[in-house]
Amino acid sequence: MEFINNKVKICVVGAGNIGSAMALGLVRSGVHVSVYNRSEGRLKAFAGIAGLVCSTSLPEALSGCDIALICVEGDAVLPIARNMATLPGRKPALVGSCAAAISLAELSEALTGDEGERPAVFRLLPNIAATVGRSANLLCGSGVGADCLAELKKLFSCTGTTVEVPERLFPAAMALSSCGIAYALRYVRANMLAGVQMGLSPQTARELATAVLAGTSKLLEVDSAHPEELIDRVTTPGGITIRGLNAMEEGGFSAAVVSGLNSTVKK
């Protein structure tokens, strides 16, 4: 598939939080988007947006599209895919799923038509930060060339950072990208608790913790130094930062983070 000047047409299947975030991010980046949802209620939010059309008819929404991105709940993905396989006429050459538990093989099998034809497939796993354009997306594909995957990474950068990861490593990557949102929020909550204990208001503590996370993220984006090297830049001999770091490590901070991440991939 060729990606020329954002002229690919994408159908986003499902207008929930993730589907809406994907549709809005794509259309704002200049891509022509159609959105399918089985009921009209969620589609009202897209009224009047140039370059975006909505439909409660799946065949209508898919008409003329090059890529379909399925953004429904996990248990609805395969039924949608099987329905797509039975539709007459031209079908999207590339179909992706945003469901965490649906493998490439399962998606491909569900999309196989009566004569054995099937589209290339990919998995795109965003996190909830896609709703604010700062997701950490995971990407892999089957029947998709390296050039096409590279273009997909660019295409979905409208919702955040997209990282190509082998499917076998998706559970580990999800621990960092999807579950990581909750872990980062728990860190912010801990900051608020400490801030209140030291006399700050909860709102002030939250604002400071949020700003620190945002600043740290930007610093890591523009500076390739190892995180430990960056830590060294803000610690001084006998200073308060190193005392705080040592106290956190005595409390098992790093070990707790590693244990929490590992526990998400244990079967």
> From residue 54, how far is each of 44, 46, 120, 185 by CA, in Å?
9, 8, 24, 34
Given this model, what pLDDT does residue 6 score? 59
Averaged pLDDT, 164-180: 94
> How do residues 128-140 score in pLDDT, each as one tens digit?
899 888 999 999 9
Given this model, what pLDDT does residue 114 score? 79
> How do residues 110-155 score in pLDDT, each as one tens digit?
999 877 788 999 999 999 899 888 999 999 999 999 999 999 999 9
Residue 125 contacts residue 114 (beta carbons within 8 Å): no
Residue 260: which of 181, 204, 197, 200 has the closest Cα? 181
- The lowest-confidence range among 36-40, 100-104, 131-135 is 131-135
> How do residues 238-254 score in pLDDT, each as one tens digit?
999 999 999 999 999 99
Return mean pLDDT, the chain. 93
Secondary structure (3-state) at 164: strand
Percent of the chain with pLDDT over 90: 85
Buried b (16+ CB within 10 A) or exposed e, 196-213: eeeebeeeebbeebeeee
